[in-house]
Structure 1
Amino acid sequence: MRLPVFALIAALAAAPALAAPCGGGFNDFIRAMKAEAVAKGQPQADVDAFFANVKQDSRVIKADRSQGVFRKTFIDFSRSLISQNRISNGAANSRKFDSTFKRAEREFGVSRGILLAFWAFETDFGAVQGDFNTVNALVTLGHDCRRPELFQPQVHAAIELFRQGMIDPARTTGAWAGEIGMVQMLPADILARGVDGDGDGKVSLKTSAPDALLSGARMLQHHGWRAGEPWLQEVVLPANLDWSKTGLDTTLSTNDWAKMGVQAREGGLPRGLPASVLLPQGRKGPAFLAYPNYKVLFEWNKSFVYVTTAAYFGTRLEGASAYDAGNPDEALSESQMKSLQQKLAARGHDVGAIDGILGALSRAAVQKEQVRLGLPADAWPTRELLNAL
């Protein structure tokens, strides 16, 4: 007997992370996934139809292993993604879907700027949604042993979307990681938080901007978005600031930051909100206050440089000026960054993968070593630090 949809979602959430074996024979993996789906309550005929033409996609694995774009600095990355064309299109879409954005703020508390930013970056406002077969992508990544605990449950969620007529295994396409639609959501998120924004009785994230935007807003609310609060604000810092207090691991009240000389570059600081001083390229580059809503954005994308760029672009789309780039110290090359990560790991720091990407773990480790060595502890890796280690 088939489970009701909410019972199915609960079953997905409670399922063992690796119910089907990863990395072995692909046909054996498919048989295990089919048996698991039937055990969860899906009809055998639906399961057979879902997997009927599934194939491994080597392009998916190649894309998963080749994310070098995230090695760019914040300044380079943001300049590559933010163009006048995207700013103009953002303004036009803000006007076109004004009632949808007002509803997103009214019902979910999410401001239009951040929704526009992700809509722009994910699919260029729906124009480029990806050409990877969604089912093949999810099954390929579920079989791969890098992150099966993430993608195997997404396969089961996709089976339920298929049963509800929301995807076609043979024709539905999207991003290489299995995300679907204008704001690129994974099947489990669509299943749990999809919204029929245009009132046609269906959740169509590929063809309906209201459906996609309101679904994205509901997802952010689910992950803790705080209504009526900012997410990122450019600031001007005093030269004598204690740099060891910067970074996402330190949160103080805006009142405390103001007492230390931190000032808004435009307007004023909101009173009494928790915030962290964010220096994407160290004390000589752009400076921001990151509020609790900024951290929620990592539920959408795990990349520091992507999230920071999207957050900043959201402020631009709501009227903020272009940031002051300053004159940051030169970034380390990929090989130098990998060398630094190896040295940090040898000193006992958790930097995650040795991948040449300056993520949150590497930033935290850099800052700790800067403190130990008596260097300005702004979490920006320099040749001076590399040499000192």
Structure 2
Amino acid sequence: MTRRVSHATRIAATVLTGLCLTTSASLAQQCGGDFRQFLAGVKQEAVAKGLSARAADQTLAGAQIDKKVLARDRAQGVFKMAFLDFSKRVISGYRMKNGAANMKKYAGIFQRTEKEYGVPAPVITAFWALETDFGAVQGDFNTVNALATLAHDCRRPELFRPQLLAAIEMVQHGDLDPRNTTGAWAGEIGMVQMLPEDIIKFGRDGDGDGHVKLKESAPDAILTAGAFIQHLGWRRGEPWLQEVDVPRNLDWSQSGLDTTKTGAEWAALGVQSRWGKISSNLPASLLLPQGRHGPAFLAYPNYGIYLKWNQSFIYTTTAAYFATRLAGAPRYEAGNPEPGLSDAQMKQLQKKLAGMGYDVGKIDGILGAGTRAAVQDVQKKVGLPADAWPTPDLLGRL
């Protein structure tokens, strides 16, 4: 799976740092301590929410702590590959071929999904490919054990306890086998990797068998993904990403997600589409994933939905670009980007930027939003083209 951070990071920004909380209603143990006592508290809460004691017992009776889940949770991080490297690696000929074949095979359910939720087939298909290779690699962690482990762990119980309760509800519905259902280490299930709460809210029966089976049923997965993406704010009938050619004399400080202009305004500055027509009336940002010498894209409002699905700029830009390829766009013009920084150099740059008063977040070697913004601002100050791409030249000047 081409994953970099769990979907659970979408649920809340707050992270507990080891405190064990209690609810005033039940005084149930919220995290930590004896595992069986913790599970008893989960059952108590499930019954209080109207779920059956039998479903809670079925779900929790054999639950165990999975130390591999804790190891993954502690070690997770955003990948540090550049856009060109990552996109070339994950958008393979195999995925292009199988993406087209699956859009044809499931044309009926894709048409239904777009009619009901407004989300086109290429958008869902790209996620389907990147998350699980069209269902081939869905993860081998027992889902209940993963959720119970992370809910019991006091690092983020507010994220995972509700997911464990939702898993009990899925067991009650007959949509999850507590002993045999497997998925990702953080509890995501199925071909498009969704958490139990999202499956409860947005799960759709695409094949008409009366159940939502995201592991086995492609129609269920496609329709559910459409419902979920619509919920994130997808705008029907609008583009999401468009590759463009950009004039060399552009004011590069206008690039980045913090700046928006209408398509007509970008066109007036000399920006030209490489595929399709620029949407004149829509707001768009100019994305330069590897600076002014690399590929350039206009990101429309629907691009923001990708960032709600997955917070990594490189992953989301790759997924959005992949969807345009499945929709018929040509391969991007890779250009000749300036060499970037090594991991050690990126950390050195972040330390320097932090010392200058910029909020770059954790010194982790990752070119995240804060670091990009700081780089762009510093480039302007030192007289370099402000395209937000950190180079050895910039580091040397600092």
Q: Same fold (TM over 0.5)?
A: yes
Structure 1 window deviating more from structure 2 (164-173 vs 56-65): it is 56-65
**1:333-387 Cα deviation digits (max 9, x unpaired):** 1122222223323333332332222122221222222223332211111122223
Match of 2:210 in 1: 201
For residue 94 of structure 1, what is the amino acid of its counterpart?
A: M
Give the CA RMSD over aligned residues: 2.2
Q: In structure 2, what is the equivalent of residue 310 of structure 1? A: 319
Q: Does 1:275 align with 2:284?
A: yes
| SS of residue matched to 2:79 | helix
- Aligned pairs for 1:256-335 (under 5 A) are 256-335=265-344
Structure 2 Cα separation of the partners of residues 223 and 156 of structure 1: 23
Structure 2 partner of 1:246? 255
Aligned partner letter, 2:257: L
Distance 1:156 1:346 in 2: 44
Rounded to whole Å, the distance in 2 between the matches of 1:53 and 1:34 is 13
Alpha-carbon displacement from aligned partner over 1:76-127 (angstroms, at most 9, x marks no partner) = 1111111111111111111100111111111111011111101111111111
Q: Which amino acid aligns with 1:191?
A: I
The residue aligned with 1:137 is 146
Letter matched to residue 177 of structure 2: D
Distance 1:27 1:80, change over 3 A: same
Alpha-carbon distance, 1:62 to partner: 2.7
Question: Does structure 1 conserve the Cα–Cα contact (< 8 Å) formed by 2:118 and 2:234?
Answer: yes
Deviation by residue 1:282-340 (Cα, 9 ceiling, x = unmatched): 11111100111111112221211111111111011111111111111112111222222
Residue type matched to 2:294 in 1?
G
In the alignment, which of 75, 80, 83 is matched to residue 89 of structure 2?
80
Cα distance, 1:145 vs. partner?
4.3
* DSSP-derived class of the 2:284 partner: strand
Partners of 2:55 and 2:169 within 8 A in 1: no
Gaps of 5+ in 1: 1-11
AA aligned opposite 1:253:
T
Give the distance between the partners of 1:216 and 1:320, measured in 2 at CA.
Answer: 23
Partner of 1:7: none
| TM-score, reference length from structure 2 | 0.89
**Aligned partner of 2:262: which letter?**
S
**Where do 5+ consecutive residues of structure 2 fail to align?**
1-10, 23-28
State the SS of the aligned residue for 1:258: helix
* Structure 1 segment 1-389 matched on structure 2, within 5 A: 21-22=30-31, 26-67=35-76, 70-389=79-398
Shift of 1:254: 0.5
Count of residues paired in the alignment: 376
Q: Hey, what's the Cα distance between the residues in 2 that align with 1:147 and 1:365? A: 30
Structure 1 residue aligned with 2:25? none
Q: Distance in 2 between matches of 1:30 and 1:123?
A: 31
Alpha-carbon shift at residue 22 of structure 1 (Å):
4.3
The one-letter amino acid of 1:368's match is: D
Amino acid at match of 1:334: D
Measure the CA separation in 2 of the matches of 1:141 and 1:347. 38
Q: Secondary structure at the match of 1:70?
A: coil
C-alpha deviation, 1:141, in angstroms? 2.3
TM-superposed deviation, 1:246: 0.6
Tell me if the contact between 2:174 and 2:211 (Cα under 8 Å) persists in the aligned partners. Answer: no
Aligned partners of 2:352, 2:40: CA distance in 1, in Å? 44
